[in-house]
Structure 1
């Protein structure tokens, strides 16, 4: 019995010590400065939302197949309030999408287009955080961005008749997300899941009426991305 009590006492003491260790705040002064920097990495799965309009094409159907892309960039964070931060997160966002025009008969070079997109992504965001819970802090984030598409081919005179599906160069988007700040020994790690949504129509119509772009009323980026911030 004495042995059991002794073992139980040692076990309870170890649990208590562990609990005490867990309550030790890491980076206790991290959120006090007015301004701080960081960087982020991530992966995205962006597609297109497509809306149709009346045209000479009956029953248009455009299928979008997306692939996994990447995000990378910098973070500038301004503390506005104990629970509100203004963030500027300039970076690059890249991925490739395949459009299949199911209403166009023929081989792949006629009814399939591969659309690459590499954006200079310039978002201005508001981050709303809860009070700190030991070494973690949940938050929601959202804002708007200007996106410059280096791969748009907007100024290219070749259109779909020459095999080029063109999109606009200058675009505006909004994004929303949720995440958690984890305070570690030497830095803050903040994973989040975000959605990005184009505001403007991104399609560049062909030089003359065509079966590729005529049925499209709206084509805009829609996607989700995993955002891993290190601050």
Structure 2
């Protein structure tokens, strides 16, 4: 009888503990944080930019190798609350990245000829719609999508020198579409939001060489950026 009583007591305690861990609502931090119409913050993050190449019909075997690196991003956040589930966000930021290109051509006899380092500094301005779920205790998952534009301060678009002089040229202005997801974490003093987002250029960014038969650019029909942003937002 004593053993039965102990077993029943253990089962009751286990049930109560389970209810507290998984069912009971926790005390919410920053309960009124999302109520103001406008809110602001800042963004720190990492990025990895790539190029997507489409080649001309007469160059089916062309393959340009892109060696990606991890870049750094810093920016600001302006958020306009629409309702409990929708927000409009403006996230101007500066991103720094480097991509190394390796061209394959029998004309290239040295590494200098075959390789181009493409350093880019972008002023990147996305306008995004954030769609959130209902807040669960101190977390609120969301998806985000929208459009953006960027100004490439290192594009070399107006440089008269081309790849024959070691200068890889890109267009200065590019437009993108973006899609991603993340989660709002309501901490004791501030809201912290990690997120991941894909960025895809909608236009051709290549400035072709002066020589129409250039071994660098003559086989490229379209070159467009694609990238991944991992951002950490503090509000």
What is the TM-score when the length of structure 2 is the normalising length? 0.89
Q: Which runs of 5+ in 2 are unaligned?
A: none
* In 2: Cα distance, 1:58 partner to 1:156 partner: 30
1:36 aligned onto 2:39: yes
Which residue of 64, 70, 82 corresponds with 1:68?
70
Which residue of 142, 145, 148 corresponds with 1:145?
148
1:158 aligned onto 2:165: no
Shift of 1:54: 3.4
RMSD (Å), alpha carbons: 2.5
Mapping of residues 196-215 of structure 1, within 5 Å: 196-209=199-212, 210-215=214-219
SS of residue matched to 1:158? coil
1:184 aligned onto 2:183: no
Which residue of 98, 111, 115 corresponds with 1:108?
111
1:226 aligned onto 2:233: no
Shift of 1:15: 4.6
* In 2: Cα distance, 1:193 partner to 1:176 partner: 9
Shift of 1:71: 1.1
Q: Which runs of 5+ in 1 are unaligned?
A: none
* In 1: Cα distance, 2:229 partner to 2:89 partner: 18
1:128-186 CA-partner distances (Å, limit 9, x unpaired): 00111111111000111110000101111110010111011011111110111111111
- Check whether the contact 1:60–1:102 (CA below 8 A) recurs between aligned residues: yes
Shift of 1:81: 1.7
The aligned length equals 230
* In 2: Cα distance, 1:161 partner to 1:54 partner: 24
Shift of 1:22: 6.1
| Equivalent position of 1:77 in the other structure | 79
What is the TM-score when the length of structure 1 is the normalising length? 0.90
* In 2: Cα distance, 1:21 partner to 1:188 partner: 22
| Equivalent position of 1:47 in the other structure | 50
* In 2: Cα distance, 1:21 partner to 1:89 partner: 36
- Check whether the contact 1:65–1:99 (CA below 8 A) recurs between aligned residues: yes
* In 2: Cα distance, 1:132 partner to 1:183 partner: 10
| Equivalent position of 1:91 in the other structure | 93
SS of residue matched to 1:54? coil
Shift of 1:82: 1.4
Shift of 1:126: 0.3
